[in-house]
A and B are shown apart, each in its own frame.
Chain A
Amino acid sequence: MSDLQVVPAEARRFQGRPAGIVTRVVANAIDLATAVVVAGAIYLAWACALFLRHGRSFTFPTVSSPIAITVLLVALAAIFALAWATSGQTYGDRVLGLRVQRVDGGPVGRVRALVRAIICVALPLLLFWAAISRDRRSVQDLLVGTSVVYDWGPAVRRPSGDAIGPGVDVAAAITHEPNERQPEPVGGLDREG
């Protein structure tokens, strides 16, 4: 079955390439919404517990906004860390067809995923460096050595090194460091004018 193509024909050309800022922001927005839902679920679960304990005298608990925001961010970080450590895809990534992977194409790993999740939640604006970076890598990516690529393939991660679409050498595409002034390929000239 490895010979089967499950990616639509029109999307095959950019499979495995670094993802741009718009896609990543949309994916993160979906993840934030997911975190809000999770936080709400936590609140409801807490309320249910209180109802079971107090019975008729139950009233919905009031939550101060710092605690709410903290719970939300913790939930978000947990979602990030769990998703990246396992499949490399959060729910938002799944919807948008993204995958977080190591620069060399391998799986992210637990520690790297946890560190990246914490940084992403604490300093989300660092994501926008991806818009400026030539390799489309955010500051978090640069710090933990990861990259976000387009991957419309099946959710199950394939063996390491073959994690991305067929025929695309991601490692070669990402090895440039963003600040290096390398001679530009001639092929880009026609887009200049």
Chain B
Amino acid sequence: MMVRMDNVVSIVPDPDEPEEAVSTLAFRAAQAAIGSVAIAVGTAAEVVRQAAGLPEGEAGPDKDRTSLLAGAALGFVTESARTAAAFADAAARAARPVAVAGSAVAAPLARIAEDLLARWDDSWERERPDAEALAGSVAAEATRRGVDAVLDQLDLTAIVQERVDLDRIVASVDIDAVARRIDVDAIVARMDMEALIERIDVNTIADRIDVDRLLDRLDLSALSLEVFDRIDLPEIIRASTGSVASESVRGVRIESVAADDAIARFVDRLLRRRPPERGP
């Protein structure tokens, strides 16, 4: 049901009328409430119709009758509200002189009115859950349609590009935290490393390396001297070229030196002189 906005009655009081009666204001309030209810009922009926899967064009005599009854009910309520407002107005005018005297008569009437109100309230309380659920679904559907209608009219992307400072938003994002949440291992596990390696030309990379410059940065002579210093080079050479002959020669040399010293000590003793300072 479409609501025609061009023939909405102004609720602002007409300034030409100097004093508007209380009954007129009350009637207008009732009229607004009934109109709102009518709109809500119309929307709800539409939602229920769509939920039930009935096509819009299906217009039978029952539907006409329903519309007729609904309109009649609304008109009746409107007329009732108008009459009630007139009565209330008249009562307000008449009540002033008889207010004091009528208190004795008013007490039983008030009790009856209270009973009537209590019955109506019970009836409302019984209907309330269904009515509220229906109203909730109506509100949700109405909101969805309204938002859709608004969004259809807007180019959100353009608006964001025009109005939003994306740089500032990106600057406020903690990329590190995001990166920490990324499971790189899982990503790597999904990758085909063999295919990746096959695409890398190692020779091309090696060609790009300036080996000479790399070597220039190394002090090779100092490095080799340090290496020689740490290892027992004579021992290694002896071990690698260590023939029986060289070992024998070494033994002969050592033995000869020992024999030299022995002879020297013997001669020293024979000549009764002290041995010189040199070692054994």
Contact = CB atoms under 8 A, between A and B. Distances in A.
B279 A14 contact: yes
Nearest to A136: B264
A23 B264 CA distance: 12
A9 B249 CA distance: 16
B128 interface: no
Nearest to B261: A20
Contact of A173 (B225, B229, B278): B278
A96 to B, nearest CB: 6
Interface stretch (B16-24, B51-59, B84-92, B250-258): B250-258
Given A13-B279, A131-B267, A23 B234 contact: no
Nearest to A24: B260
B256 A23 contact: yes
A8 B234 contact: yes
B238 A8 contact: yes
B276 interface: yes
B243 to A, nearest CB: 14
B117 interface: no
Interface string A1-43: 0011111111101100111111100100000000000000000
| Size band of the interface chain A makes with B | 35 or more
B267 A7 contact: no
A173 B278 CA distance: 9
Given A3-B225, A13-B279, A132-B267, A150 B274 contact: no
A191 B268 CA distance: 11
A13 B280 CA distance: 11
Interface stretch (A76-84, A115-123, A182-190): A182-190
A143 interface: no
B236 to A, nearest CB: 11
B257 A188 contact: no
Given A8-B250, A184-B276, A188-B275, 13 more contacts: A3-B225, A8-B235, A9-B232, A14-B257, A19-B260, A20-B256, A21-B260, A23-B253, A23-B259, A23-B260, A96-B256, A188-B274, A191-B265
Given A17-B278, A192-B274, A7 B234 contact: yes
Main DSSP-derived SS at the B contact region: helix
Given A6-B234, A95-B249, A20 B225 contact: no
Contacts of B250: 8
A158 interface: no
Interface in B206-255: 225, 228-229, 232-235, 237-238, 249-250, 252-254
B170 to A, nearest CB: 62
Nearest to A191: B275
A150 B277 contact: no
A187 B274 CA distance: 10
Contacts of B234: 5-9
Nearest to A10: B254
A11 B253 CA distance: 9
B263 interface: yes
Contacts of B254: 10-11
A188 B238 contact: no
Contacts of B233: 4-6
Interface in B112-126: none
Nearest to B256: A23
B248 to A, nearest CB: 10
